[in-house]
Structure 1
Amino acid sequence: MSQPSTPRLAQTCAEVEDALLSRWPESRLEPSLDRIRAFTELLGEPQASLRVIHLTGTNGKTSTSRMIDTLLRALDLRTGRFTSPHLERMSERISIDGEQLTDDEFVRAFNDVAAYTHLVDAEQEHPLSFFETMVGMAFAAFADAPVDVAVLEVGMGGSWDATNVADADVAVVLPIAVDHAKYLGESLAAIAQEKAGIIKPGCTAVLAEQSAEVAAVLLERAAEVGATVVREGMEFGVISRVPAIGGQLLSLQGLRGRYDDVFLPLHGAHQANNAAVALAAVEAFAGQAPLDADLVRAAFADVTSPGRLEVVRRSPTVVLDAAHNPHGAEATGAALEDSFNFSPLIGVMGVMSDKDAAGLLAAFEPHFSHLICTQNSTPRSMTAAELGRAAVDIYGEDRVTVVPDLADAIDRAAALAEAGEAFGAALGSGAVLVTGSVVTVGEARTMLKRGRRQ
């Protein structure tokens, strides 16, 4: 894609978004660190001044990043956090001290690097991508703040992800499953090899529980580079969890101590595991002493993770969850059974065309009384009709409705949930789950927050 020959300074967020979207999208990749290295060199290597906690894995990165960020701020450290993709606004991807950049800060972050993007474009075989430009913006904003620690979530993979020009003090590897197979490989071992690239010499590698095949790859990488390894289920983990109103109550074994009566306002065993990983990552970063237990409790009680089993409406209840692969859908399904008692539960699903739609549909099938197949507004979205055809094979014709417009799909689902007695359910116990894609959930969240269905 050809780029303008002169820097395009922006006045507004809309202009920044337009400039960034004119670049290679996140769905187009050329595995190389050449462009981001050239970019950060021109920016003065801002990432070299940062202490870093770096996260990879198939699911749970954003929730765990947010937990780590909240714990670090409780230790009076100034944080920068880079996550992706965004739910509603691009500026969500870059946060300082737990707050996403304001519109003015986002414009300034873009303008600070804009001139250098064109120098890189002119020198490299391919222009900087959308994601690479965002990473450069984040590094520059964090160095300028300056922050005490940057919490970086990879975009995809690890070794050649643009965030990997930063060297982590702590490298976190969340559970690895098959996703993005076109780029990362079809086998778990191949995917693990790619994600293991964030484990750098001298760092502490915090490993969530993994399959034996994945663990072998990660441990081999850690031994190769001389990283210290701590593993969920061995050096740290969840001792117990009890679902509670609005979340769950945890006892966590950390690296430095045990922390009881920790309330986490998120649902599901997977979020309890994420909390254990986040705690271990912060303990590894902070030194040898145990963290203050009251501080840990207060921090976890403050954690939010928008779009992750997030209840955004009542009467009927509407829940948003960004599960977009079978592994994530299975975790969401387990959390629904564990933490809620919805009957009927009506699914609203919109999926990207490059995802395992059949696997997603199958994972949710035991939980949905009826499924509304829809689509989001992006060109990458699978059409509602195509998703509907796949769904009929798994759910049967009587349990599937196709409604291409997302807002109409949510309305139709809400009406079905409210008519719960037609399914033999008690009045008022019906709910809607919007899922299948971060984009679908983000668009639904924007609609529902605007009060479309008061």
Structure 2
Amino acid sequence: MSDEQSPEGRLRQVFAELVARTPEDRMQPRLDPVRECLALLGDPHLAYPVIHVAGTNGKSSTTRMIDRLLREHHLRVGRFTSPHLVSVTERISIDGEPVTPERFAEVHEDVAPYVAMVDGRLRAAGQPALTYFEVLAVMAFAAFADAPVDVAVVEVGLGGTWDATNVVQPQVAVITPISLDHTEVLGDSLEEIAAEKAGVVKPGALVVLARQPDAARDVVLERCRQLGVRVAREGVELGVAERTLAVGGQLLTLAGTAGHYEEVLLPLHGEHQARNAALAVAAVEAFLGGGQTALEADVVRAALGDVDSPGRLEVLRPSPTILVDAAHNPAGTAALVAAIEEEFAFSHLVGVVGVLADKDAGTMLELLEPVLDEIVVSRSLSPRAVPVEELAVLAEEIFGEDRVHTAEALDDALQLAVNLAEAGAADGLGAGVLVTGSVTVVGEARALLVRERRW
């Protein structure tokens, strides 16, 4: 079998075709082309109930927790998340596992003729062909119908109203914390961004709403009022009742809309993950019993005790401790810093930071400065990555020249950070490395660290 015919070779070919399309950060404000493509496929997105997850931060972790809770109830679950860390196959998962490279290529082949038909109509009308993310969404919906799944948990890619996933009619809509991000696409105020996120709220859906800034909360609640849908609010109908640190994570008491769940061990770090867990429990209560029936406490403990969230304050090595966190905006960075200050005791922590061009790098660096003893500025291979020299100038203004180092290649940056951390910590005790700043830099670092185990 030639390399091109192998599953990995076919996946590379499909991925090359996908990335040649309009990238996902250049969302097209439209839904009709996706609906048309899905109609040609027999409307697979309507073949199963959907839990739709929107928001700025915490979407992927919350989606994974909902997925795990549903599977503990013996349901077959399809999960669509974005972006991916290492392989595009991560975005489409069934039964808790990403589809195989072979299956991913097969699904693309199945939908390709219908995608081509819609592309042709769009080009004839002078419009852009289906985007990278639009095709991925079509593929996910088709894969879930073919499986078939009992329920799909679908994460919004960007915004809500015009996101390609917003063709679904969700039984439950979850909105995680909203903050300023993607302002060039979604608007430069919390009200505008919240209005986009609230587009996932549909008639007949039950809404689970995270605690929000007042401006964002009011917009979402007004949307819910207009549509006459029920809302379960964090801090009112649901939340984290108790939280204590534990080995490898945290011990929680969660208040759902229908039940109280004690002694829940969550093997993830940070108060924000505890809050995500409360949202996930409320979402599953809403899905299985309309928010009126409690879940079995043992089922909640088993599911959340087994959950993971790759690239989200994930410990990849114990000595020196190497953490990766995909915080890519100020709100995510603030949550990361709070978790580090609360749960880790580093004597010398070195950051490896790479940021994409459309992000608020200055604010992110300012938030990181108090917890980082030194910083290594690097970049991912993404064409959107801020050049190392440019980011280093900004870092020097915040950290001072003596604390800033540079490395163009990410593997060199990781090695330099490990050396600096060990040299700065007495006898190497308490040495740590934190990789953060973008999903792409974390994904590439994670691939290096997990695959090669070089550090």
Matched AA of 1:407: D
The SS at the match of 2:379 is coil
1:251 alignment partner in structure 2: 253
The answer on whether the counterparts of 1:62 and 1:153 sit within 8 Å (CA) in structure 2 is yes
Question: CA–CA distance in 2 between the matches of 1:24 and 1:379?
Answer: 14
Unpaired segments ≥5 residues, structure 2: 1-6
Cα separation, partners in 2 of 1:453 and 1:11, compared to 1, 3 Å: closer
1:451 alignment partner in structure 2: 452
Q: CA deviation at 1:451?
A: 2.1
Q: How much is the aligned-residue C-alpha RMSD, in angstroms?
A: 1.3
Question: CA–CA distance in 1 between the matches of 2:213 and 2:427?
Answer: 41
2:279 alignment partner in structure 1: 277
Matched AA of 1:88: V
The answer on whether the counterparts of 1:326 and 1:356 sit within 8 Å (CA) in structure 2 is yes
Question: Which among 323, 328, 336 is matched to residue 327 of structure 2?
Answer: 323
2:84 alignment partner in structure 1: 86
Question: Which among 371, 374, 381 is matched to residue 375 of structure 2?
Answer: 371
Matched AA of 1:450: R
Question: CA–CA distance in 2 between the matches of 1:415 and 1:100?
Answer: 35
Instruction: Give a deviation string over 1:394-426, Cα, whole Å, max 9, x none.
Output: 1111111111111101100000111124xxx56
2:120 alignment partner in structure 1: 122
Question: CA–CA distance in 2 between the matches of 1:205 and 1:297?
Answer: 23
Instruction: Give a deviation string over 1:271-293, Cα, whole Å, max 9, x none.
Output: 00000000000000010321110
Question: CA–CA distance in 1 between the matches of 2:354 and 2:67?
Answer: 30
Matched AA of 1:433: L
Question: Which among 380, 387, 393 is matched to residue 383 of structure 1?
Answer: 387
1:34 alignment partner in structure 2: 32
Question: Which among 224, 227, 240 is matched to residue 226 of structure 2?
Answer: 224
Q: CA deviation at 1:104?
A: 1.4
Question: CA–CA distance in 2 between the matches of 1:10 and 1:165?
Answer: 31
Q: Is 1:70–2:68 an aligned residue pair?
A: yes
Q: Is 1:55–2:57 an aligned residue pair?
A: no
2:402 alignment partner in structure 1: 398
Cα separation, partners in 2 of 1:143 and 1:357, compared to 1, 3 Å: same
Question: CA–CA distance in 2 between the matches of 1:210 and 1:27?
Answer: 24
Stretches of 4+ aligned residues off by more than 6 angstroms: none
Question: CA–CA distance in 2 between the matches of 1:303 and 1:206?
Answer: 20
The SS at the match of 1:444 is helix
1:440 alignment partner in structure 2: 441
Counterpart mapping for 1:138-217 below 5 A: 138-217=140-219
The answer on whether the counterparts of 2:27 and 2:158 sit within 8 Å (CA) in structure 1 is no
Question: CA–CA distance in 2 between the matches of 1:333 and 1:357?
Answer: 15
Cα separation, partners in 2 of 1:38 and 1:10, compared to 1, 3 Å: farther
Question: CA–CA distance in 1 between the matches of 2:204 and 2:243?
Answer: 33
Q: Give aligned pairs, total.
A: 443
The answer on whether the counterparts of 2:206 and 2:231 sit within 8 Å (CA) in structure 1 is yes
Unpaired segments ≥5 residues, structure 1: 1-8
The SS at the match of 2:370 is coil
Question: CA–CA distance in 2 between the matches of 1:426 and 1:83?
Answer: 42
Question: CA–CA distance in 2 between the matches of 1:137 and 1:451?
Answer: 31
Q: CA deviation at 1:427?
A: 3.3
Question: CA–CA distance in 2 between the matches of 1:446 and 1:372?
Answer: 19
Q: Is 1:359–2:363 an aligned residue pair?
A: yes
1:6 alignment partner in structure 2: none
Matched AA of 2:430: S
Question: CA–CA distance in 2 between the matches of 1:427 and 1:102?
Answer: 41
2:318 alignment partner in structure 1: 314
Q: Is 1:430–2:428 an aligned residue pair?
A: no
Question: CA–CA distance in 1 between the matches of 2:397 and 2:427?
Answer: 29
Cα separation, partners in 2 of 1:11 and 1:87, compared to 1, 3 Å: closer
Question: CA–CA distance in 2 between the matches of 1:289 and 1:55?
Answer: 21
Cα separation, partners in 2 of 1:452 and 1:426, compared to 1, 3 Å: closer
Cα separation, partners in 2 of 1:81 and 1:408, compared to 1, 3 Å: same
Question: CA–CA distance in 2 between the matches of 1:225 and 1:110?
Answer: 36
The answer on whether the counterparts of 1:264 and 1:303 sit within 8 Å (CA) in structure 2 is yes
The answer on whether the counterparts of 1:420 and 1:429 sit within 8 Å (CA) in structure 2 is no
2:3 alignment partner in structure 1: none
Q: CA deviation at 1:29?
A: 2.4
Question: CA–CA distance in 2 between the matches of 1:453 and 1:397?
Answer: 28
Matched AA of 1:65: T
Q: CA deviation at 1:449?
A: 1.2
TM-score relative to the length of structure 2? 0.96
Matched AA of 2:449: L
2:342 alignment partner in structure 1: 338
The answer on whether the counterparts of 1:268 and 1:332 sit within 8 Å (CA) in structure 2 is yes
2:4 alignment partner in structure 1: none
The answer on whether the counterparts of 1:343 and 1:426 sit within 8 Å (CA) in structure 2 is no
The SS at the match of 1:419 is helix
Question: CA–CA distance in 1 between the matches of 2:119 and 2:259?
Answer: 50
Question: Which among 404, 407, 412 is matched to residue 408 of structure 1?
Answer: 412
Question: CA–CA distance in 1 between the matches of 2:197 and 2:451?
Answer: 38
Question: Which among 117, 133, 136 is matched to residue 134 of structure 1?
Answer: 136
Question: CA–CA distance in 1 between the matches of 2:315 and 2:329?
Answer: 21
The answer on whether the counterparts of 1:10 and 1:107 sit within 8 Å (CA) in structure 2 is no
The answer on whether the counterparts of 1:320 and 1:445 sit within 8 Å (CA) in structure 2 is yes
Q: CA deviation at 1:10?
A: 10
Matched AA of 2:454: R
